[in-house]
A and B are shown apart, each in its own frame.
Chain A
Amino acid sequence: MRVLVVEDELRLREELAARLRQEGFVVDQAADGEEGLYLGREYPIDVGVVDLGLPKLSGIDLIRQLRSEGKAFPILILTARDRWQDKVEGLEAGGDDYLVKPFHMEELLARLKALMRRSAGWTQSELVFDTLHIDIGTQQVTVDERSVELTAYEYRVLEYLVLRAGQVVSKSELTEHIYDQDFDRDSNVIEVFIGRLRRKLDPEGKLNVIETLRGRGYRFALTPTAGHRNT
């Protein structure tokens, strides 16, 4: 998952970025509104964290601009102002949630995950596909109530595919959303991750969890059975 962090306070931004990376996010950082706008336009962002008091372009204007350009990724507003007037203004501009400074990092992570899950149509943090359960809050994956151990990258690939269940995701899209730097597109690492995921989630090969569409990419093929807006 690719997160855009726009925060002018260097220390807070670095700490946010470090913590988010630790959680498996790909992090794009901007120190002012204009840089934030540039990154938001140019990169395939999945979720944004935007401080309201930014140099050059205010957080409110940044969000308005991104929304007017059709960028729909969920945005969490960070603000030191906790008057309702400020909150309402931020939400009206196109923010999806707000967090007042100072905040607990865990709270921020929980809100971000909730935003991503919500924008994918999930109404609870546990994603349920019959016997396969994925809790994106705790990053726990179980099959038949048996815990499945995944590496960090395997989990990232799974999470990305699951939050786009039913959609075809190309190899390069996956690469962009789980790796920081440009990744060697010819590498077969993604294929390796997918292969391992299939074996771990479905050792007997009954479920056909992830489909391969030749020349197009992958698709998470299970249908949500609980907690999704369409279920």
Chain B
Amino acid sequence: MSLSLNTRVLVAASAVLFSFFGLAGFTLENIYRDTVEQNMQERMFGHIYALIAAAEMGDDGRLYMAMDVPDPRFSDPHSGLYGQVASNDGKWVWYSESMADMTIPFPYKLPRLAQVSRQITTPSGHRLYLFSYGVVWSDSPEPGQAYTFSVAQDLVDYDAKIASFRRSLWGTLGGVALLLLALQWGILRWGLLPLKQAARELHAIEEGVQTRLQGRYPLELRALTSNINALLFHQQEHLERYRRTLGDLAHSLKTPLAILQSAAENREGMAELPAVVAEQVERMNQLTGYQLQRAATSGWTVLSAPIEVEGVVAKILAGLKKVYADKGVRTQVDIEPGLEFAGDEGDLMEVVGNLTDNAFKWCKSRVHVRAHSKAGPRAGEQDLFIHVEDDGPGVPPEMVRYVMQRGRRADTEIAGHGIGLSIVRDIAQLYGGTLEIGESGLGGAAMHVWLPAGPKG
């Protein structure tokens, strides 16, 4: 299945956008969470120090907590901030009043300077952040007496903070992504507008409203649209030629048909009927042959690959050598390596085939085929020259005059041997080139065909 350009670009862009924003969001969220947690840890340390400051070593070598613990939340039941101080020998424990009836699984017996921090959920369902610190009271009468100071903070605030950050983070990112996608979609539609216009115009051409693409198109499309226009022009020309040829053919067949009809109705001339029929059949045959050739000739093709001249010549010579095997013709072929023809292969075959066929037919024993290119009028384009020579009797001057007559309509007078040359001349003219007939150094006829590069106009 072929996805539309729109869908392709949108799918690709959303995949990129969402993976980029997803990764960015995930990273930002982690960084924020780390920061908040670090903040909390610092605050907990603060609470621990406040508790340490509130503790006092009695003369009996035991620790007392001052009644007014610095943060009032320690005294307010279920305030969310809880504290506990326990001696490491397990003989003494102080709880903050805020704990009331709660049990918090604080760690015990931490060695000196040891820290423990973790998130827990109490059996009653509170999420707490717990921090404990091991302290040794140095000015106690019993040196080395160790205590574990712990505080716990309810995580409701913390969770709320993270959640709100996450909401605004993902909201913003999602919004930006959607905005970018919408923008992308808009740009794409704008970018593809010329294609839509071209499609509309082609539709109009199909419906016969217009004959070519008229709109102004961006540079990238211009090669395409001008090729389409050239193709359309070519097709129209083709159609025109078909129509003309068909008309010519039908009209030119009327005369022999009329002759046949009158011959068939002429009771006295029955003895001559076979001769008349044979003559008119031959005439009609030549007419149809010539007109078919003309109709099949295509001229410059717009989108076809160039044809290698050497291959075409080799194929035709191989065929002719079979057909004229009796003559034992010696051929010489000089073709510029890699020489190409930018027109229709059938036309090239027609040109080379007719010229070499004549050469084989008329030569005594030698045929020489040459082809080369020369820089044409347009940059980078090469005109094609084909020369076919033989050592036969040459072409009679009246035939040369006859074939070369410009603008001569194909009609009944075409002589058998002239038809091939007429076809070559017509094809050369269709390409804007020429056929010239001269004398060869070999002693016979020399045919020179010039096929200019590139379509005219």
The chain A residues found within 8 Å of chain B, CB to CB, are: 82-85, 87-88, 91-92, 95-98, 100, 102, 114, 118, 123-124
- With A83-B350, A85-B349 known as contacts, the answer to whether A92 contacts B326 (CB < 8 A) is no
> In this complex, which of A82, A84, A85, A87 has the most chain B Cβ atoms within 10 angstroms of its Cβ?
A84
Q: Give the chain A neighbours of B318 by CB distance below 8 A.
A: 91-92
Q: Judging by beta carbons under 8 Å apart, are A82 and B316 in contact?
A: no
Q: Which residues between 348 and 381 of chain B lie within 8 Å of chain A, taking CB atoms?
A: 349-350, 352-354
- Report the interface size class on chain B: 20 to 34
A84 touches B328 (CB 8 A): no
- Which residues does chain A contribute within 8 Å of B346, judged by CB atoms? 83-85
In the bound complex, what is the Cα–Cα distance between A84 and B357 (angstroms)? 10
Taken together as a complex, chains A and B put the C-alpha atoms of A83 and B328 apart, in Å, by 25
- For B345, give its contact among A85, A100, A118 (CB under 8 Å): A85
B323 contacts the other chain (Cβ, under 8 Å)?
yes
Asked if residues B350 and A92 are in contact (CB atoms below 8 Å), the reply is no
Question: Mind listing 6 A-B residue pairs with CB under 8 Å?
Answer: A84-B352, A91-B319, A91-B323, A95-B322, A118-B325, A123-B328
Q: Which of B316, B319, B326 contacts A118 (CB 8 A)?
A: B326
Residues of A within 8 A of B316 (CB): 84, 88
Cβ A96 vs Cβ B293 within 8 A: no
Q: Which residues of B have CB within 8 Å of A82?
A: 289, 292-293
CA distance A97 to B321 in the complex (A): 10
- Closest residue of chain A to B327, judged by CB? A123
| A97 touching B285 in the complex, CB below 8 Å, given contacts A84-B349, A88-B315 | no
> How far, in Å, is B293 (CB) from chain A's closest CB?
7
**CB-CB < 8 A to A98: which residues of B?**
323
A98 (CB) vs chain B CBs: closest residue: B323
Do A84 and B350 form a contact, CB below 8 Å, given A91-B318, A97-B323, A124-B326? yes
Which residue of chain B has the shortest Cβ distance to A118 in the bound complex? B325
When the two chains form the complex, which single residue of B285, B325, B353 contacts A88, counting CB atoms closer than 8 Å? Answer: B353
Q: Is the CB of B296 closer than 8 A to any CB of chain A?
A: yes
Interface SS of A by simple majority: mixed
- Bound complex: CA of A98 vs CA of B320, how far in Å? 10
Asked whether any CB of chain A lies closer than 8 Å to the CB of B162, the reply is no
B281 sits at the interface (CB 8 A) = yes
Instruction: List chain B residues, Cβ under 8 A from A123.
Output: 326, 328
Q: Contacts A82-B289, A92-B318, A102-B281; is A87 near B353 (CB within 8 Å)?
A: yes
B449 to chain A, nearest CB (A): 14
Whether A83 lies near B323 (C-beta < 8 A) is no
Selected from B281, B285, B292, B319, the residue in CB contact (under 8 A) with A87 is B319
The contact of B326 among A83, A88, A102, A114, by CB within 8 Å, is: A114
What residues of A have a CB within 8 angstroms of the CB of B292 in the complex? 82
A102 to B352, CA, bound (A): 24
B419 nearest in chain A by CB position: A82
Q: How far is the CB of B337 from chain A (nearest CB, A)?
A: 22
Chain B: minimal CB distance from A104 (Å): 9
Smallest CB-CB A-B distances: 8 pairs = A84-B353, A91-B319, A84-B349, A85-B346, A85-B349, A88-B319, A88-B315, A123-B326
> Would you give the shortest CB distance from A110 to chain B, in whole angstroms?
12
Tell me if B296 and A83 are in contact (CB < 8 A). yes
Q: Which residue on chain A has the smallest CB distance to residue B296?
A: A83
B395 nearest CB across to chain A (Å) = 20
Pair B315/A92 contact, Cβ less than 8 Å: yes
Minimum CB–CB distance from B156 to chain A (whole Å) comes to 88
Interface residues of B in 164-207 (CB under 8 A from A): none
Query: Complex: how many Å from CA A95 to CA B322?
Result: 9
Annotate B379-396 by CB proximity to A: 1 below 8 A, 0 otherwise.
000000000000000000
B87: min CB distance to chain A, Å: 107
User: A117 → chain B, closest Cβ, in Å?
Assistant: 9
Report the separation of the CA atoms of residues A33 and B230 in the bound assembly, to the nearest whole angstrom: 42
Residues of A within 8 A of B326 (CB): 114, 118, 123-124
A83-B293, A84-B350, A118-B325 are known contacts; what are 16 more A-B pairs with Cβ within 8 Å?
A83-B346, A84-B316, A84-B352, A84-B353, A84-B354, A85-B345, A85-B346, A88-B349, A91-B323, A92-B315, A96-B322, A97-B322, A98-B323, A118-B326, A123-B326, A124-B326
Nearest residue (CB) in A for B345 is A85
Chain B positions within 8 Å of A100 at CB level: 289
B346 nearest CB neighbor, chain A only: A85
Report how far A124 CA is from B325 CA in the complex, Å. Answer: 11
Chain B contacts for A96, CB-based, 8 A:
322-323, 325
Task: Kindly list chain B residues whose C-beta atoms are within 8 Å of the C-beta of A88.
Answer: 315-316, 319, 349, 353
A56 → B minimal CB distance (Å): 26
Q: Which of A87, A92, A98, A124 has the most CB of B within 10 A?
A: A87
Per the bound structure, the CA–CA distance linking A126 and B79 in Å amounts to: 132
Chain B residues 306-349 with CB under 8 Å of chain A are: 315-316, 318-319, 322-323, 325-326, 328, 345-346, 349
- A122 to B, closest residue via Cβ: B326
Which residues of A have CB within 8 Å of B350?
83-85
* Complex interface: chain A residues within 8 A of B352 (CB): 84
Nearest neighbor of B324 in chain A, beta-carbon distance: A97
Chain B hits for A124, CB < 8 A: 326
Question: A94 to nearest B CB, angstroms?
Answer: 10
Annotate B292-309 by CB proximity to A: 1 below 8 A, 0 otherwise. 110010000000000000
B319: contacting residue among A83, A92, A102, CB under 8 A: A92
Query: What residues of A have a CB within 8 angstroms of the CB of B345 in the complex?
Result: 85
Q: Select A83's contact among B281, B315, B322, B349, beta carbons within 8 Å.
A: B349
